[in-house]
A and B are shown apart, each in its own frame.
Chain A
Amino acid sequence: MLYSHIRQRQKWGDTQVLPRVNWGDLFFDLFYVGATYNVSYILVENPSSTGLLYAAGSFLPLVIMWVEKMVFDARFVHEDDLFHRFFQLAGLAVLAIAVLHIRPVAILSDSSEISMLTFALCLVLERLLIMTRLVEIYFYGVGQRQVLQTLAKRELQENLVPLLFFLVSFILAVAQYVNGTSPNVPIKRNLAATAENSYVNESSSNIPIWLCLLGYVTLQVMRCIKVMLLFPGQGRHKEM
Chain B
Amino acid sequence: MLMLGESILSLLIIYVPDENGNFYTTFFGGVLTVILLQYLHFRSQPHDPKWHAMRRHKNAGISWSVLNQIYSFAFVILGAAFTSFLTASSDNNIGSRLVASAESPDTKKATAHLFSGSLGVIFACLDIMTVLHLGLKESHDRCVCEQTKRKNVKGIFLVFIRFGVIVFIATLSQWESEPETLTLAAVACVLFQLLMRKLGGKYLSHSQVHVLDPQRISKTNVMEHSASHLTTARSGN
Name A's B-contacting residues (CB within 8 A).
18, 29, 32-33, 36-37, 39-48, 52, 55-56, 59-60, 63, 67, 192-196, 220, 223-224, 227-228, 231
Contact = CB atoms under 8 A, between A and B. Distances in A.
Interface stretch (B8-16, B20-28, B136-144, B181-189): B8-16
Contacts of A228: 58-59, 62
Interface string B40-69: 000000000100000000110111011001
Contacts of A43: 76-77, 80-81, 84, 114
Nearest to B83: A44
A220 B98 CA distance: 36
Nearest to B3: A36
Interface on chain B toward A: helix, strand, loop, or mixed SS? helix
Q: Give the size category of B's interface with A.
A: 35 or more
Given A43-B77, A47-B84, A56-B73, A32 B10 contact: no
A56 B72 CA distance: 11
A194 B95 CA distance: 6
B87 interface: yes
Interface of B: 2-3, 5-6, 9-10, 13-16, 49, 58-59, 61-63, 65-66, 69, 72-73, 76-77, 79-81, 83-84, 87, 95-100, 107, 110-111, 113-114
B10 A40 contact: yes
A194 to B, nearest CB: 7
A45 to B, nearest CB: 5
B79 A36 contact: yes
A225 to B, nearest CB: 10
A193 B49 CA distance: 41
Given A33-B6, A36-B3, A47 B110 contact: yes
A195 B79 contact: no
B73 A59 contact: yes
10 contacts: A36-B9, A36-B79, A37-B13, A40-B80, A43-B81, A47-B81, A55-B73, A60-B69, A192-B14, A228-B62
A220 B16 CA distance: 40
Contacts of B10: 37, 40
Nearest to A63: B69
B120 to A, nearest CB: 14
B204 to A, nearest CB: 27
B186 to A, nearest CB: 17
A164 B110 CA distance: 34
Query: Of residues A43, A46, A192, A227, which shows the largest number of chain B Cβ atoms within 10 Å of its Cβ?
Result: A43
B16 A52 contact: no
A67 B69 contact: yes
A37 B72 CA distance: 13
A59 B2 CA distance: 13
A227 B59 contact: yes
A33 B111 contact: no
